[in-house]
Structure 1
Amino acid sequence: MIKLYTSGSSKSSREARAWLEANGLPFEEISLSKQGITKAQILELLARSEDGIDSLVSRRSKAFQALDVDFDALPLKEAVELLSKQPAILRRPIIVDDRRLLFGFNQDSVRVFLPREVRRQKLWAALVNTSSV
């Protein structure tokens, strides 16, 4: 099952939700602003991310910039604690399932959540359409 961590005010969160719905993919939505995120969930995301804590943090967000913290100097335990208390500094949306993890929304990258056969069919259809032009 796909988990979609969102923020209601985030345009990319709304786009991710709409994309999953349009492609008929079942998902569980977790609102970071309403439900928050647990330390265990953060640690699970960190364990699966390629860039560690930098994958999760939105350094351009107003919430992050408002913090007076040297995030890079924080020990992991304190960083996880801060992220769980301040989910507004997380990059959004976060889309995750048993095998894949994506931070932010990108039309091309999110396609990895489509079943392989559906991706093949869409690729074939695109190839056929471009060859008939």
Structure 2
Amino acid sequence: MITLYTKPTCNPCRKVKSLLNEADISYVERDFFSTPLTPQELEDLIALTENGVEDLLLIYTKIHDNLYLDFEGMSTEELATALAENPRLLRRPLIVKGQELLIGFEEISCKAFCGIH
């Protein structure tokens, strides 16, 4: 089963949903703005990354600049709490399949990850 973590107004999120719908691949969608992720869910996502929380961070946003958070000095629990409180800091879409995570949308990678030929 594929789980998509999305924001409705996010163009890459809409693209991955369209790709999955066209391929008739079922998925569960979670709008993490209307139903925020818990710190535990974020810790689970962080555990699936290759480089930790920096893989999930959307660092080129005003909110990132205005928070003045020392992500490097924070524990995983502190990072997860900060991200739960500020979902705009998360890159999107987040695509989870089993214990694998794909971050963002790039059509070729997304097709391979989701098993679309």
- Aligned partner letter, 1:6: T
Alignment partners' CA distance in 2, 1:28 and 1:18: 13
Match in the other structure for 1:34: 34
Match in the other structure for 1:49: 49
Match in the other structure for 1:129: none
Note the 1:1-133 alignment, pairs <5 A: 1-115=1-115, 119=117
Which deviations, in whole Å up to 9, do the C-alpha atoms of 1:27-53 show, x marking residues without a partner? 000001100111221121111111111
Superposition TM-score, scaled by structure 2 size = 0.90
From the CA coordinates, give the structure whose radius of gyration is larger: 1
Is contact 2:42-2:84 (8 Å) kept?
Answer: yes
Alignment partners' CA distance in 1, 2:40 and 2:47: 10
Which deviations, in whole Å up to 9, do the C-alpha atoms of 1:2-61 show, x marking residues without a partner? 000001221111111111111111000000110011122112111111111111111113
Which deviations, in whole Å up to 9, do the C-alpha atoms of 1:54-112 show, x marking residues without a partner? 11111113332232222222222211110111111001000011143100000011012
- The higher relative CO (CA closer than 8 Å, separation ≥ 6) is in 2
Q: Which runs of 4+ in 1 moved over 3 A?
A: none
- Aligned partner letter, 2:77: K
Superposition TM-score, scaled by structure 1 size = 0.80
Count residues in correspondence: 117
Percent sequence identity is 28
Query: Tell me, which stretches of 5 or more residues in structure 2 are unaligned?
Result: none
Query: Tell me, which stretches of 5 or more residues in structure 1 are unaligned?
Result: 120-133
Alignment partners' CA distance in 2, 1:20 and 1:62: 31
